[in-house]
Amino acid sequence: AGQGVDFPTYFKGQGDDDFIARMSPAWSGALPATWLHRRDGSVAEFWEGGASYETFSEKVRTLLDEAAGAGGS
């Protein structure tokens, strides 16, 4: 809260394998890795490796459209 963070965050305090498994069983641990979440916290998209601005923009717009179509929930 001292840094203005008022949303769930994650801190790796133990070994890599435990952290990776808790983040996603589909994640090999490779970086970069991206998770996009819906408003309810569920994972909408996950991928390993980089992505272009266009890819991020398209995927985020899809999620925003999905949320708008569901009444913003």
How many angstroms separate the CA atoms of 73 and 40, rounded? 7
Mean pLDDT value across residues 60-72: 88
Enter the tokens of residue 1. Answer: 């809260």
pLDDT at site 37: 93
Q: Is the pTM of this model over 0.95?
A: no
Residues with Cβ within 8 Å of residue 4, at least 6 apart in sequence: none
Between the CA of residue 25 and those of 11, 21, 41, what are the distances in Å? 17, 5, 17
pLDDT, one tens digit per residue, over 11-48 is 778 889 988 998 899 999 999 999 999 989 899 999 99
